[in-house]
Amino acid sequence: MIGEVIVIGDLKLRANASLDEYNRLGERMYEIVSRLPGFVSVKSFKAEDGEELTLFRFASEEALEAWRSHPEHVETMKRGHAEFYASGFLQICKVIREVGPFEHS
């Protein structure tokens, strides 16, 4: 969809991160984001070399901003940097052109 915003995340966990707590918080964040107007989807992909990327899709910049500034998400992001993540990056991209969908028979 033209104007859609895609966030690409590559976040590396610390060796001593509590996976149980990280997963619990992840589930809670999904509960919140999936109810927000303009949220489209989130999917994770793991490459053969072990790199894992997560793609968040939002219908607009306003929808992304609602998620980015959600109070519970803000607090969880702070915990993520303090407790869970060793390194990483986020890229925020805007769809400027789209081809398809199409089918081949």
pTM above 0.85, yes or no: yes
pLDDT in tens, 5-61: 999 999 999 999 999 999 999 999 999 999 999 999 999 998 898 788 999 999 999
Q: What's the rounded Cα separation, in Å, for the pair 69 and 63?
A: 10
Identify the pLDDT of residue 35: 97
Mean pLDDT of 68-75: 97
Q: What's the rounded Cα separation, in Å, for the pair 5 and 3?
A: 6
Q: What's the rounded Cα separation, in Å, for the pair 103 and 59?
A: 24
